[in-house]
Structure formats: structure tokens, C-alpha cells
Amino acid sequence: MTTKVEERSYEDAVTWLRDHGFDLIEAPGTQNRVFLKKYCCSAAIQKNEDDGVKIFAYPGYLVGSEISKLVNKGYQQFLKTAKAEVPATADHLKALHQFTEELKEALCLPSLYNESLGTVSESYQYDRIEDRDKPQPSRPKRPWQAKVVRRVKKSEA
């Protein structure tokens, strides 16, 4: 049996977040977009066309001043930014899980079973093959896929 989920307006969501201890920072140069911070984690939300709320930047643990992406490499989870890749500790994962659950409650988003069990990564690389999760055209060529270029000697030309 399905149930209808109550939706919150952007203003109601911002009020809920402030009331529950989130630090809100207005995004520079834009309107109706805020960065949220709590438990050393961050995300960004924005107002959509019908006065609803949309997640602009997916939740991540703050590494320096940058929101990290959680990457699962099978043997270890990592917090990855443009400049660094840090092994994720249990404290990092607990904070990120708590932050994400509270954000979902604020935005009236459903909490899925597999997400409720623990922190869900944005990227999984169990077989340790780099770039495998990217679309085929954007993957770099492997050595066995590269074309063999035959050089012509001057005497043959």
C-alpha cells in the first residue's frame, strides 16, 4: 500500500533546518540556494519552480572547505575531493549518515531501506579498475585498445 508523502515548501524546509541546528549559508551570487552544514558535513539545496526543494549538492563530509564524494573501493571507503582522497573512518560515516537522514526528514524525502542500513556511496569500484563507472566514450583507451601506428621509413616512401 502506497502512502502520499507530505511535501515541504522551500521556506518551510529552511525553517525546519534552522530549528534543528543546521548552519545555513546563502550561496554567493544566487538566490534561493543555501549551503547546509552540521556534523562537519555539508550539502546544498535550492528552490525549484513550484516552490519545492531540490538538492543541488549531494551530502558529503567536509574535507578542508570542500564537500567530498564518498567512494567505495570494496576494501575501504574514501572521502574524495578535487585535491585529496582520505580514507573514511567510522566517525566520518556515522556523521554523514546522521546528516543525510536529518536532511531527508527536513525535505520530506523517503528513507529507503538500503540507505537506512548505513552510508551509501556515490561511486563503487570493487574491482579496482579505474574509470569503469564512466560512460564508454569518456573512458581512456587501454593499451590493448590503442591503434598501432606503423611508421614509414624514408626509404619506403
Asked, for residue 126, whether it belongs to a domain, the answer is: no
Asked, for residue 23, whether it belongs to a domain, the answer is: yes
Asked, for residue 105, whether it belongs to a domain, the answer is: yes
Asked, for residue 56, whether it belongs to a domain, the answer is: yes
Domain coverage including residue 22: 10-66+89-119
* Grid cell of 145 as nine digits: 585498445
- Per-residue model confidence as pLDDT tens digits over 88-141: 898 998 898 888 888 888 887 777 766 665 666 666 555 556 777 778 888 887
Asked, for residue 51, whether it belongs to a domain, the answer is: yes
Count of domains for the chain: 1
Does this model's pTM top 0.85? no
**CATH code of residue 44:** 3.30.310
Angle 90-107/10-19 helices, nearest 10 degrees?
140
Asked, for residue 155, whether it belongs to a domain, the answer is: no
CA distances from 15 to 18, 44, 140 (A): 5, 15, 46
